[in-house]
Amino acid sequence: MRRFAQIREDFTRMMLGYRFGMEQVATRLEILREEFAELHLDNPIEHISTRVKSPESILEKAARQGVELEIPALREHITDIAGVRVICSFVADVYRLMTALTEQADISVRVVKDYIANPKPNGYRSLHVILEIPVFLSSGPVQVPVEVQFRTVAMDFWASTEHKIFYKYEGDVPAHLRQRITDAAATAARMDEEMAQLHRAVHGTD
């Protein structure tokens, strides 16, 4: 019984660390957003959202990936427990923000997955960065991994629609719809390009 209480306390402490890490990253991005808006007269961030994975989906993902259901193994292998999603207007803003965030001295980058340069076969595009940020608890500092997904409005529209379709069909999407989803991703990519050209034309940077 004591062991169960200890596991529960350790798990609660772990989840708190992820929430604080996620909130710190979101605050750093809000600071950048306000600074850009005040000083550069443009705002690269449309929207920021955050979520901590539920205990059920952490355990489900760990089981699916064959990760031991122990706190050290979960910490090591499940890197998207804390997630931040940043929606930008333009592709260039995605990279500009990622650089501004990850160049901060106490943030270290674990992994970058650039699905904009290399989209997934279904057309999914986004820039994923797993970074680590220190969180200072009463027991001392802990390094907390946070997955940050940077994407444009067009990429986000596509991803949320695809996600709904995927769930509606419980992952087994009919082939003709899969093709249309991939075609829609190409349309979204063209839209990003067209908007960037328009923006450059309006701002005389062509």
Residues annotated as catalytic (active site), given as ranges? 147
Strands 127-137 and 140-152: antiparallel
Contact with ligand 0O2 (CB under 6 A) among 102, 122, 143, 182: 122
Secondary structure of the chain as H, E, C letters: CHHHHHHHHHHHHHHHHHHHHHHHHHHHHHHHHHHHHHHCCCCCEEEEEEEECCHHHHHHHHHHCCCCCCHHHHHHHCCCCEEEEEEECCHHHHHHHHHHHHCCCCCEEEEEEECCCCCCCCCCCCEEEEEEEEEEECCEEEEEEEEEEEEEHHHHHHHHHHHHHHHHCCCCCCHHHHHHHHHHHHHHHHHHHHHHHHHHHHCCCC
Residue 13 CB, shortest distance to ligand 0O2, in Å, is 22
Residue 145 CB, shortest distance to ligand 0O2, in Å, is 12
Does 128 interact with ligand 0O2 (rule: CB under 6 A)? yes
Of 20-28, 32-40, 120-128, 188-196, the window that binds ligand 0O2 (rule: CB under 6 A) is 120-128
Contact with ligand 0O2 (CB under 6 A) among 83, 116, 148, 151: 83
Residue 15 CB, shortest distance to ligand 0O2, in Å, is 15
Does 50 interact with ligand 0O2 (rule: CB under 6 A)? no
CA-angle at 195, arms to 191 and 198, nearest 5°: 140
Contact with ligand 0O2 (CB under 6 A) among 32, 80, 89, 188: 80
Of 119-127, 134-142, 176-184, 189-197, the window that binds ligand 0O2 (rule: CB under 6 A) is 119-127
Binding residues for ligand 0O2, rule CB under 6 A, total 10
Two structure tokens written together for 179: 């093709």
Cα(58)–Cα(52) distance, integer angstroms: 10
Contact with ligand 0O2 (CB under 6 A) among 110, 163, 168, 200: 163
Nearer to ligand 0O2, 13 or 120 (CB): 120
Phi and psi at residue 190, to the nearest 5°: -65, -40
Nearer to ligand 0O2, 60 or 193 (CB): 60
Does 162 interact with ligand 0O2 (rule: CB under 6 A)? yes
Binding to ligand 0O2 in span 8-47, by CB under 6 A: none
Instruction: Give the residues lining the site for ligand 0O2 (CB under 6 A).
Output: 80, 83, 113, 120, 122, 124, 128, 159, 162-163
